[in-house]
């Protein structure tokens, strides 16, 4: 089995590879921009990134492979547009008559990760077109991450944040935030909104692994702010859960 990893991201793919080897799997890492498509099998290998395959060399490639790859290489702004077109709410769904409901906006680079280069403004024109995008600031009370394996929800994580961390700031690791696993569905506030049903229409629902970052308001409105094909996995039980999914599909 090969794990196809994104360029510049190694930690989670390496953890999965090492865990697979511990249980006797011959597992290798291949970088998306250097792997030879002819060496890949969509059923056997694990795609955390999606290489170009213009000559159809990847074996058992599904009909929607190119749609998944197109999403993978798109900017964050374009990805949100694809989610919205599928009936999934993003922060842009909370723009009212040209204005943000909160009166504030978030500016990000077109390609970003973590909370880097995140800023808040009250001016809807305060961004550099072509390099940044602007979206309404969603009034979040909770943040979740729903992780799917080939269209099936396998993990739900809740972000724990310091009590004094302002909701207008990014809730990331550098601000003291961390994820905990939601093990009991009765404790999962996502059940109070339509997001889990809406995600069944995701344009990338058949990706091997996709993590949706979901913001939830006090009155249980939701928005999906990002979809990630190679989410950070550090909790041992969660790594084992993903590995079990891989083994069950062999």
pLDDT in tens, 77-89: 999 999 999 999 9
Q: How crowded is residue 225: how many other Cβ atoms within 10 Å of its Cβ?
A: 19
Confidence check: pLDDT of 191 > 80: yes
The pLDDT-based confidence of 175 (bands split at 50, 70, 90) is confident
Mean pLDDT of 18-30: 91
Measured CA to CA, the distance from residue 226 to residue 210 in angstroms comes to 10
CA distance 79 to 149: 19
Q: How far is CA 246 from the centre of its chain?
A: 18
Span 130-149, average pLDDT: 95
pLDDT over threshold 70, residue 249: no
Which pLDDT band, with edges at 50, 70 and 90, does 100 fall under?
A: confident
Strand partners, 14: none
Q: What pLDDT was estimated at residue 250?
A: 61
What percentage of residues in the chain have a pLDDT greater than 90?
A: 79
Calculate mean pLDDT across residues 19-29: 90
20-29, 57-66, 93-102, 187-196 — which is least confidently predicted? Answer: 93-102
Rounded mean pLDDT, 159-179:
87
Q: What is the pLDDT of residue 163?
A: 87
Query: Which residue matches tokens 């599928």?
Result: 86
More confident residue, 248 or 233: 233
- Residues 227 and 145: their CA atoms lie apart, in Å, by 9
For residue 105, list its beta bridge partners: 121, 136
Asked if residue 194 has pLDDT above 70, the reply is yes
Query: Going from the N-terminus, what domains does the chain have, and what CATH number goes with each?
Result: 2-61 (no CATH), 72-237 (3.30.470.20)
> Which pLDDT score is estimated for 112?
84
What is the C-alpha separation between 244 and 227, in angstroms, rounded?
22
Torsion of CA 217, 203, 114, 239, to 10 degrees: 100
């Amino acid at each position: 089995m090969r794990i196809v990893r994104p360029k510049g991201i190694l930690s989670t793919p390496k953890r999965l590879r090492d865990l697979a080897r511990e249980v006797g799997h011959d597992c290798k890492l291949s970088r998306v921009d250097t792997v030879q498509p002819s060496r890949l099998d969509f059923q056997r290998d694990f795609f955390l990134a999606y290489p170009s395959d213009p000559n159809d060399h990847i074996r058992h490639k599904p009909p929607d492979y190119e749609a998944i790859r197109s999403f993978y290489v798109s900017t964050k702004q374009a990805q949100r547009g694809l989610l919205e077109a599928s009936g999934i709410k993003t922060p842009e769904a909370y723009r009212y008559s040209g204005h943000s409901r909160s009166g504030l906006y978030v500016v990000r680079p077109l390609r970003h990760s973590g909370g880097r280069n995140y800023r808040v403004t009250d001016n809807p024109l305060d961004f550099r077109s072509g390099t940044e995008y602007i979206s309404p600031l969603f009034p979040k009370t909770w943040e979740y991450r729903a992780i799917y394996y080939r269209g099936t929800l396998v993990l739900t994580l809740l972000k724990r944040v310091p009590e004094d961390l302002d909701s207008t700031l990014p809730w990331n690791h550098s601000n003291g935030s961390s994820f905990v696993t939601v093990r009991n569905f009765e404790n999962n506030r996502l059940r109070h909104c339509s997001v889990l049903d809406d995600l069944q229409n995701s344009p990338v629902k058949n990706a091997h692994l996709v993590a949706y970052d979901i913001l939830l308001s006090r009155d249980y409105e939701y928005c999906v702010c990002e979809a990630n094909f190679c989410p950070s996995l550090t909790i041992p039980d969660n790594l084992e859960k993903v590995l079990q999914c891989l083994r069950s599909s062999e």
